[in-house]
Structure 1
């Protein structure tokens, strides 16, 4: 997956760089992150390559804002990427590299603290997704999620996986804590 492809997907409808950043924070941050410092250069490259177009719109809060939208060429590039099939690249998870070497920590209580922090963070992320699920349920009524169609269906399936993964991570962190407790008793 790449940031340019995600930007193309988000730019099916016109949006500013700030709008895109907000979309990342509200929904995409569970599986992808991007700072404005990454978004704007990527947008400029997409525009240079003819995949998006931009224009200025007046802003109520200050200077004019630049709004972007995918072009037909951009739409085709985005669809080509979608049709390449799943991209199951090796993911980098720094916390797993840290966990791998925890025995080398100077502080004897660091492994326990580390896994408690992981558990709490995973739980908070799962809870945020559950809160989004509750909003969707309120918006879509008693037939939710079976009544979802179009983009909402695929967004929900992605969020559903996120909930399941983070709940599994919470269980894993709790199992690790139990194993640490067991190892300390021996």
Structure 2
């Protein structure tokens, strides 16, 4: 699996799937979640509402992942995952790693060969960028064994120079 760092706007990625750093309601929000919902249009919100009405009436728990249509995005699917809020009192690293693992599993399940990730939990959820990048890259590399050759490329889409530096550091390590 090739890991690429390509900073910019995840809503413009032409991968099979993009990952949404969603909130548990799946009904849109701020940051990456809001940007993806705005760019995807009403079809994405409708798909998320169907999930809430059927299989996820309580919302999506942190660390899990689920796929929907991508609406007007160039990707075919959006994989929604809910990252943990960073805490100095409780180690939630495993939940953050689970977001990447479960998203890769979901990508493989739907037949995606390429997937783009934002820096999950590193925005309003307060996760320190360097640690978020470390967990992302290490988990994606480890996920290669599980998904095999199904997923050929993972694009990490950090937003901003500090995020780009952090992700490049861990990809090159």
Q: TM-score, normalised by structure 2?
A: 0.31
Structure 1 or 2, whichever has the larger Rg, is: 1
Larger RCO of the pair (alpha carbons < 8 Å, separation 6+): 2
The answer to which structure has the higher strand fraction is 2
